[in-house]
């Protein structure tokens, strides 16, 4: 056991001295990818438009495009002729354990990068910034978080959002009933069908789900937010510096290139599947800066 | 193993602000027990009626009983949960549906009703088997004594049948208790759901699930012990 | 009543539901039943072996698995199996186990506890004289089990084993909690994407009912035939 725990250290030392990427010198995820010729991406069912199912139930989205860029970079780095990409669906609740236990190598979705999560996993450069708000039917007249007093609201289990609304509820003693839902689409449907008065989530996801609903004009997003805009990042295993280096370099190069803007516009400024709806969300100033100077900081104030 | 163990986590405050993570699991345990008990009341009552229907001499009564059991046994519990929670309110007249959906603790009531009717189909099987296991002479003796069919069941058949089926009923009760965890999919905050939430908030996956596992084992042991006591209490002397 | 429902969502997605979803469900059911019966038989043999320790181990395993809700076991294994694999083969990192393999391991280990109880009853249903006769003929324990006891035990218990397999088929729907694309998972993904919960869940219920009902009718016919042989 002691020898086994020493092994990665030894291998890392070797890799540093040799520099070249031959299978013996590699460690962690890179080594595994080289050996198996496979990389597994964690995908989401309903993180529109980051990673969600299109008309053919295939995961697509902005984060998926970024992940395929990373896959290309990994393939080049490892000098592989062929790299098989496997897709494994994850939920907000399962994504962190599944990254940690090696089931998925990269989680491509809408995961908030924060200090707490960095104790368990690592994040690459930020690909979006979003704040925690809620969506409700306009007819309900709910516009501020205070209005939720005594109501039943829903949020997705395993998110920072459900944690924040729980903390807010306790702090302000509002007596809100908070239902956990498995994923964003289910949570939104709870509002649509009247099971819950509001859905507490990242504003960009709320806007996308509302836009894709049967009656987009019937919903309004809260005017106040529970958090500052927080960064989203592609998630990977922690303590795997060589892999993170490749992923960081790939995302930084992509975000700085004009391609990133094109990809952004493809998902946020044009009609997207499955229902050809245009979200019309121009890139924010903060995100433009984050793309110009890529950063993996979990601190909202850094953006 | 690349995992940061932290068994002290149970004494840390949970982000819900209502106490520690241990309190969170405890509240889950209470929901599990309350849901299981309420569902069992329905399951026992409905199951007994359906079980009796299936042993009556009347053909239509048997058909109703059989149809009930087939319907509830051949659809997965999780799908039944979704039917009660997501589908039923949309099929009802709008005002009823809205009322149902806006009930406080709707997941709890849904889980109780769903589990109750589901478990009833299994209880019905046991009740039927118990009644059919009795010597035919008992029914005849009842009739000979001038008892009506209802009286025969009430005073002769059922008291004996329940005694015979106490062990399988105990295991159905335990199944019912374990099945409450399926209701986490409709938002019931029972024990497994709370263990999962604890994992999400604290990232201590294995501690949370270990605690839940131990709690489930303890409840099982308690129920089995209690059932053994009841069995001895109600045993007919000399049999 | 169904005026504002749109059942075309089923027509648009049936290939996905059946080719992706139902294939996963049926493969998982078949393999887990097979693995569960094999493992369950071994556990039943351990339990009836009369050797030291083994019966207690078998009993503890069965009671342990039977006291846990399947949902909890599914979570446990999906997160834990890669670490167990790492420990078993002494790898430097958790081994990668896909959603299907992980579900298969979970259901095999979980259902083995239930299958073992059935097989135990099956083995016990064979008169003790047969084991004694086999031993008198000079057969070893494994020969007696393999050629005399187990074939009869299987035949007697076949209807019960198949009924338990129908239960297993229904239980696989619980992988929904991990967002795995089994039949119900596929149905719920389409339902949630298109906001058509009512249509999809009703359809899923009808399909599950049809499959299980027909299967249980077949089992009952088989039961009558097996009963004559006995």
Tell me the pLDDT tens digit for each residue of B63-85.
999 999 999 999 999 999 999 99
Based on the fold, state whether residues A88 and A161 are members of the same structural domain. Answer: no
Domain boundaries, chain B: 18-234
pLDDT of residue A187: 96
Contacts of C among chains (3+ CB pairs under 8 A): A, B
Q: Is the dihedral of CA B146, B152, B155, B157 positive or negative?
A: positive
Q: Is A100 on the interface with B (CB under 8 A)?
A: yes
Predicted local confidence at residue A27, as pLDDT: 86
Q: How far apart are CA A73 and CA A250, in angstroms?
A: 6
The beta-carbon neighbor of A183 closest among C13, C179, C194 is C179
Q: How many other CB atoms sit within 10 Å of the CB of residue B214?
A: 10
Q: How confident is the model at residue C95 (pLDDT cuts 50, 70, 90)?
A: confident
Of all residues in chain C, the percent with pLDDT exceeding 70 is: 97
> Would the CB atoms of C192 and A52 count as touching at under 8 Å?
no
Q: At A123, which helix (H) or strand (E)?
A: strand A121-130
Rounded CA separation C154/C180 (Å): 33
The CA distance from A105 to C221, in Å, is 49
Q: Which token pair is A15?
A: 């890799």
Tokens describing residue B38: 């309420």
B99 contact residues in A (CB cutoff 8 A): none
Distance CA A188, CA A209 (A): 7
Res. B168: pLDDT tops 50: yes
What stretch of H or E contains C85?
helix C70-89
Q: What is the mean pLDDT of residues A275-295?
A: 95
Fold of B18-234: MetI-like fold (1.10.3720)
Is the pLDDT at A6 greater than 90? The verdict is no
- The predicted structure's pLDDT at residue A72: 96
Which residue among B76, B83, B216 sits closest to C68, beta carbon to beta carbon?
B216
3-state SS of chain A: helix, strand, coil percent to 5?
45, 20, 35
* C86-94 mean pLDDT: 85
Per-residue confidence (pLDDT) for residue A206, from 0 to 100 = 97
Q: What average pLDDT does range C175-189 have in this prediction?
A: 94
Instruction: Give yes or no for C181 touching A (CB within 8 A).
Output: yes
> Is some CB atom of chain A closer than 8 A to the CB atom of C13?
yes
For B131-165, what is each residue's pLDDT tens digit? 999 999 999 999 999 999 999 999 999 999 999 99
For the stretch C30-43, pLDDT in tens is 999 999 999 999 99
Same-domain status, A8 and A118: yes
pLDDT in tens, A147-185: 999 999 999 999 999 999 999 999 999 999 999 999 999
* Dist. CA A61–CA A55, nearest whole Å: 13
Which domains are seen in chain C, by residue range?
8-229 (1.10.3720.10)
Sign of CA dihedral B21, B23, B25, B31: negative
Among chain C residues, the shortest Cα distance to A8 is held by C92
* Half-sphere exposure at residue A285, Cβ-oriented, CA atoms within 13 angstroms: 0
Q: Is C67–B220 a contact, with Cβ atoms under 8 angstroms apart?
A: yes
- Say if residue B92's pLDDT is above 80: yes
C219 touches chain A (CB under 8 A): no
Residue A276 has pLDDT above 50, yes or no: yes
User: Residue A154 maps to which CATH number?
Assistant: 3.40.190.10
Q: In the predicted model, is pLDDT for residue C123 greater than 70? A: yes
Numbered residues of chain C with Cβ closer than 8 Å to any chain B Cβ: 1, 63-64, 66-72, 75-76, 79-80, 83, 86-87, 93-94, 170-171, 173-174, 176-177, 184, 188, 197-198, 201-202, 204-205, 208-209, 212-213, 216
Which of C97, C176, C195 lies at the smallest CB-CB distance from A189?
A: C195
Evaluate the CA torsion angle C143, C149, C152, C157 in order and state its sign: negative
Q: Rounded CA gap, A73 and A215, in Å?
A: 41
**Locate tokens 């109703």: which residue?**
B64
Among A189, A194, A193, A114, CA closest to A151: A194
Q: Which residues of B touch A156 (CB under 8 A)?
A: none
The yes-or-no verdict on residue C182 having pLDDT over 80 is yes
Residue of B183, B192, B215, B219 to mutate for C, most C C-beta atoms under 10 A: B192
Which residues, including other chains, have CB under 8 Å from residue A161's CB and lie 6 or more apart?
A132, A155, A200, A201, A202, A226
**pLDDT, chain A, mean:** 91
Number of H helices, E strands in chain C: 10, 0
Residue A144 has which token pair? 């501020």
Contacts of A196 (CB under 8 A, 6+ apart): A151, A152, A153, A154, A179, A187, A190
Q: Which two tokens stand for residue A44?
A: 């989401």
Of all helices (H) and strands (E), which one includes residue A39? strand A38-43
Taking the alpha carbons at both ends of chain A, their separation in whole angstroms is: 43
d(CA A174, CA A166) in angstroms, rounded, equals 10
The structure tokens 């999809």 sit at C200
| Structure tokens that stand for C109 in this block | 């280990």
Q: Is the peptide bond before A274 cis (omega within 30 degrees of 0)?
A: yes
Residues contacting residue A23 through CB under 8 Å, at least 6 positions apart:
A31, A34, A35
Q: Which residues in chain C have Cβ-Cβ distances shorter than 8 Å to A121?
A: none
CA angle A17, A40, C169 (to 5 degrees): 145
**Residues near B102 by beta carbon (within 8 Å), at least 6 away in sequence:** A152, A194
Largest distance between two CA atoms of chain B: 75
Check residue C19 and give its pLDDT: 93
* Residues of chain A with C-beta less than 8 angstroms from the C-beta of C174: none
Residues C151-169 pLDDT 10s: 999 999 999 999 999 999 9
Region B46-61: mean pLDDT is 96
Q: Are residues A85 and A150 in the same domain?
A: no
Contact A91 C178 (CB under 8 A): yes
Search chain A and give the residue with CA nearest B1: A5
Contact in structure between A154 and A181 (CB atoms under 8 Å) = yes
- CA–CA distance, C146 with C42 (Å, rounded to integer): 12
Q: Same structural domain for residues A238 and A268?
A: yes
- Per residue in B9-34, pLDDT tens? 999 988 887 789 999 999 999 999 99
Residues A33 and A167 in one domain: no
How close B48 gets to chain C, by Cα (Å)?
22
Stretch B212-227: mean pLDDT:
96
As for how many domains chain A has, the answer is 2
In Å, how far are A20, A100, C161, C203 from C28, measured between CA atoms?
Answer: 43, 25, 16, 21
Domain that holds residue A144: 135-221
The answer to whether the beta carbons of residues A11 and A18 sit under 8 Å apart is no
Beta strands per DSSP E along C32-87: none
Mean local confidence (pLDDT), C187-213: 95
pTM > 0.80: yes or no: yes
Tokens 């769903």 -> residue:
B114
């Amino acid at each position: 056991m002691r020898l086994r725990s020493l092994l990665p250290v030894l291998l890392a030392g070797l890799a540093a001295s040799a520099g070249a990427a031959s299978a013996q010198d590699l460690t962690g995820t890179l080594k595994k990818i080289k050996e198996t010729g496979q990389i597994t991406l964690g995908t989401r069912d309903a993180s529109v438009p980051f990673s969600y199912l299109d008309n053919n139930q295939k995961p697509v989205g902005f984060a998926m495009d970024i992940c395929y860029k990373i896959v290309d970079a990994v393939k080049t780095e490892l000098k592989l002729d062929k790299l098989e990409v496997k897709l494994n669906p994850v939920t907000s609740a399962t994504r962190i354990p599944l990254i940690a236990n090696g089931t998925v190598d990269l989680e491509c979705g809408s995961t908030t990068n924060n200090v707490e999560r960095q104790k368990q996993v690592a994040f690459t450069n930020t690909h979006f910034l979003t704040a925690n708000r809620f969506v409700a039917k306009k007819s309900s007249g709910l516009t501020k978080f205070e209005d939720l007093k005594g109501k039943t609201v829903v949020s997705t289990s395993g998110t920072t959002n459900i944690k924040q609304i729980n903390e807010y509820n306790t702090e302000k003693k509002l007596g809100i009933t908070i239902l956990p839902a498995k994923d964003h689409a289910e949570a939104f449907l709870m509002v649509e069908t009247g099971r819950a008065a509001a859905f507490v989530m990242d504003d960009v996801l709320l806007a996308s789900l509302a836009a894709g609903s049967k009656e987009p004009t019937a919903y309004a997003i809260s005017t106040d937010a529970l958090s500052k805009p927080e960064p989203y990042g592609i998630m990977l295993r922690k303590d795997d510096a060589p892999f993170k280096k490749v992923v960081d370099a790939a995302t930084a190069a992509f975000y700085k290139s004009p391609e990133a803007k094109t990809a952004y516009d493809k998902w946020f400024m044009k009609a997207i599947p499955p229902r050809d709806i245009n979200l019309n969300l121009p890139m924010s100033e903060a995100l433009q800066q984050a793309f110009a100077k890529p950063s993996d900081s979990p601190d909202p104030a850094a953006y | 193993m690349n995992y940061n163990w932290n068994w002290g986590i149970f004494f840390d405050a949970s982000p819900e602000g209502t106490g520690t993570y241990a309190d969170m699991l405890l509240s889950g345990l209470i929901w599990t027990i309350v849901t299981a008990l309420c569902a069992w009341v329905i399951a026992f009552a409905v199951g007994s009626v359906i079980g009796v229907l299936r042993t009556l001499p009347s053909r239509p009564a048997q058909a109703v009983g059989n149809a009930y059991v087939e319907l509830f046994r051949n659809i997965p519990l999780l799908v039944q949960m979704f039917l009660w929670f997501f589908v039923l309110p949309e099929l009802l007249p709008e005002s009823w549906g809205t009322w149902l959906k806006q009930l406080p603790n709707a997941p709890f009531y849904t889980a109780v009703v769903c589990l109750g009717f589901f478990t009833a189909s299994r209880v019905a099987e046991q009740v039927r088997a118990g009644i059919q296991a009795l010597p035919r002479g008992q029914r005849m003796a009842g009739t000979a004594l001038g008892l009506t069919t209802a009286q025969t069941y009430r005073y002769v058949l059922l008291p004996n049948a329940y005694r015979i089926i106490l062990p399988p009923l105990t295991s159905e009760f335990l199944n019912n208790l374990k099945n409450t965890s399926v209701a986490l999919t409709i938002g019931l905050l029972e024990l497994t759901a709370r263990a999962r939430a604890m994992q999400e908030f604290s990232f201590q996956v294995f501690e949370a699930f270990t605690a839940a596992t131990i709690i489930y084992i303890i409840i099982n042991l308690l129920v089995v012990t209690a059932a053994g006591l009841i069995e001895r209490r109600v045993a007919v002397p000399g049999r | 009543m169904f005026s504002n429902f749109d059942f075309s969502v089923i027509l648009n997605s049936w290939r996905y539901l059946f080719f992706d979803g139902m294939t996963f469900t049926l493969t998982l059911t078949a393999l887990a039943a097979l693995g569960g019966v094999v493992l369950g038989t071994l556990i039943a043999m351990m339990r009836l072996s009369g050797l030291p320790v083994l019966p207690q181990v078998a009993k503890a395993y069965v009671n342990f698995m039977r006291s846990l809700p399947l949902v909890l076991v599914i979570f446990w294994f999906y997160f834990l199996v890669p670490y167990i694999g790492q420990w078993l083969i002494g790898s430097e990192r958790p081994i990668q186990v896909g959603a299907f393999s992980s579900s298969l391991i979970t259901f095999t280990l979980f259902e083995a506890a239930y299958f073992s109880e059935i097989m135990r009853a099956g083995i016990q249903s064979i008169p003790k004289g047969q084991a004694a006769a086999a031993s008198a003929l000079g057969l070893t324990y494994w020969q007696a089990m393999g050629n005399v006891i187990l074939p009869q035990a299987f035949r007697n218990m076949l209807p019960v084993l198949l009924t338990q397999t129908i239960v297993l088929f229904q239980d696989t729907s619980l992988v929904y909690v991990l967002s795995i694309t089994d039949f119900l998972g596929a149905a719920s993904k389409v339902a949630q994407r298109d906001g058509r919960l009512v249509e999809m869940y009703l359809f899923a219920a009808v399909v599950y009912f049809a499959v299980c009902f027909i299967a249980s009718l077949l089992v009952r016919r088989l039961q009558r035939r097996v009963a004559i042989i006995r």
